Amino acid sequence: MSAGQTVEVRCRSCHRLERRDGSRVEVVAEGGGRAPSEPAPRATWRVMRAASEGELLVVGSCPCGQPLVAPPGAGLPSLPLSLQLPEGELTLRDGDLALGGSPVSPDDAQRKVEAAFPPPPPDRLADAFAGSLMVLILVPTLFWVSVVGFVVIFLTGLGSAPFSEPP
């Protein structure tokens, strides 16, 4: 890295932000307040895949356990990353992915990561909210239907009332 060049290093999961200038590290935002919304290995895999496609550099590890990344061309040395899968260790080294020591394509690796770390179950709270919305919509509808029903019955009853008969 050229002297005086400041590089922003961040964590994609907890939003920690550091500014690095040579060996000087300034922590701009501590982060740590946000956990990934998915299993941690899936979040790590996203970073691995982006790094293997040259979108970013892995330059460190965050206190939250996720990698710290910098833009490509930041001039920082890139660090290897690894994930333990049932098939072996998935590693990223200098932008190359390997599984158990043999090269693996990003798509194959993604399938294996997704199989090993399934997404979290659906949000029950969101389901309950959708359910209560349905009830909120249903109640006025039923009320309206019953009011219309009463009016129809009332008008039908009028037809047979004594005062409406011809004189």
Q: Which residues bind Zn ion (CB under 5 A)?
A: 11, 13-14, 16, 31, 62, 64, 66
Q: Which residues of 25-38 are buried (b: 16+ CB within 10 A; e: fewer)?
A: eeeeeebeeeebee
Nearer to Zn ion, 9 or 109 (CB): 9
Least Å distance, CB 58 to Zn ion, is 13
Least Å distance, CB 139 to Zn ion, is 45
* Cβ 97 vs Cβ 106: under 8 Å: yes
Nearer to Zn ion, 16 or 20 (CB): 16
Nearer to Zn ion, 16 or 112 (CB): 16
| Crossing angle (nearest 10°) for helices 106-116 and 40-52 | 180
Distance of CA 159 to CAs 46, 152, 153, 155, Å?
Answer: 73, 11, 10, 7
Nearer to Zn ion, 59 or 104 (CB): 59
Least Å distance, CB 10 to Zn ion, is 8
Least Å distance, CB 64 to Zn ion, is 3
